[in-house]
Amino acid sequence: MQNFKTLDDINPAGQRVLVRVDLNVPMQDGRVTDDTRIKSVAPTIKELSDKGAKIILLAHFGRPKGQFVPELSLKAVIPALEQALGQKVAFAADEGALDIEDDLNSLSNGDILLLENIRIYPGEEKNDASFSKKLASFADLYVNDGFSVSHRAHASTEGLAHHLPAFAGRSMQAELEALENALGAPKTPVAAIVGGAKVSTKLSVLTHLVEKVDMLIIGGGMANTFLAAQGKPMGKSLHEADLIDTAKNVFDLAEKNSCEIILPVDVVMATDFAENAPNRSGDIDTIESNEMVLDIGEQTIEAIINKLNDCATLIWNGPFGAFEMKPFDNGTITIAKTIAALCKEDKLVAVGGGGDTVAALNQAGVSQDMTYISTAGGAFLEWMEGKELPGVKALLK
């Protein structure tokens, strides 16, 4: 297990604790429309509050680019935050001077204070040492509970760890432990599914994984580029003709690393990219010039399930088809359900992540049964690329 300190290593009663969280939640008309991120950091905040810490929350919202933007004030998330925590949350209204001594002095043990959008301060995204020092002067301890922002080396995600004793919050800890189980010292054989729209967005994920895993299952629009590289006709299918050589390189790398690559053998095709578009199933060799691939076919689903039955660990990013439109969600949903069932029977450790992947898993109704789902987006993908995340590195002992 990686070597980082957690809340188990702190006795925070009476101490001021800076806690970096991800509150960059979707909002509409001034209200939070999805509180997943708030719920994921609530346990850390509650635990610290119950232990008598004076909590100072640091978070960003949107991209104010170093200046105060009223529409991007974090004040708007307070009602949702209070509801998730069942506790009052004070707000340090500030327009850039970082003049918050009074707010800090009014904190009693267990109280929570939210600072204004941390990205209104120019020192944040620059990871300016004097800004980190100033933030650090407000507190005794630093807790990072924002895995999803830990691919950024900013003052609140990285810099602070150089000025205060640093600890992983509970959601950061859960994320790091799940990822370590999946790729650190995983049970073999290890499979990865990489799907989604385009090879170009996940090139480094693909090249890293072929060196790491025993089997790489490629689906979605991404598979089309690989099939084109094998000389298959792709018709109107989404694919990147300019990346055919890149796809060939991935095949070569896979061979060198004894990584088996699984591609669709049959697909569901339509002439229109639309919900319920008339469609047919067929071999990948039969794609007509006016047809496009929108999902994997039954033989492919069966073959993938057979392979997964022999695997011990799975990492999944990217859907198998245009799952937002029925019936082209079939491949993704069927495989999601199978994976979830294997996890439930303790036959598979499966970690999934990525914006659309999380949406697809929710659509399949199996999110609870997966070993772990990362909602971290960019940070999860960088982890899949084998990159060292600065916010995580700073926490390591």
Binding footprint of Mg ion on the chain (CB under 5 A)? 355-356
Site string for ligand ADP, 351-390 (x = CB under 6 A): ---xxxx---------------------------------
Closer CB to ligand ADP, 21 or 222, in the complex? 222
Closer CB to ligand ADP, 40 or 73, in the complex? 40
- Catalogue the active-site residues: 37, 198, 355, 378
Report, in Å, the least distance between residue 108 CB and Mg ion.
43
Return the axis-axis angle of helices 298-309 and 330-344, rounded to nearest 10°.
20
Q: Which 218-277 residues touch ligand ADP, going by CB under 6 A? A: 220-221, 238
> Among ligand ADP, Mg ion, none, what binds residue 12 when CB lies within 5 to 8 Å by partner kind?
none
Instruction: Tell me the window of 82-90, 278-286, 350-358, 361-369 that interacts with ligand ADP (CB under 6 A).
Output: 350-358
Q: Which of 132, 151, 282, 133 is nearest to 204 (CA)?
A: 151
Per rule CB under 6 A, is residue 318 in the interface with ligand ADP? yes
Looking up tokens 């635990």, which residue turns up? 47
Strand order, beta sheet including 266-270: 279-283, 266-270, 292-296
Closer CB to Mg ion, 329 or 356, in the complex? 356
Closer CB to Mg ion, 282 or 355, in the complex? 355
Instruction: Tell me the window of 67-75, 133-141, 322-330, 387-395 that interacts with ligand ADP (CB under 6 A).
Output: 322-330
Tell me the C-alpha distance between 253 and 258, whole Å: 9
| DSSP states along 218-249 | E-HHHHHHHHHHTT---TT----GGGHHHHHH
Strand order, beta sheet including 260-262: 260-262, 215-218, 190-194, 313-317, 349-353, 372-374
Report, in Å, the least distance between residue 271 CB and ligand ADP.
13
Q: Where are the beta strands (DSSP E) in the chain?
A: 16-20, 27-28, 31-32, 54-58, 90-92, 112-115, 141-144, 166-168, 190-194, 215-218, 260-262, 266-270, 279-283, 292-296, 313-317, 349-353, 372-374
Instruction: Tell me the window of 7-15, 89-97, 162-170, 349-357 that interacts with ligand ADP (CB under 6 A).
Output: 349-357
Query: What residues line the site for ligand ADP (CB under 6 A)?
Result: 196-197, 201, 220-221, 238, 293-294, 317-319, 321-324, 354-357
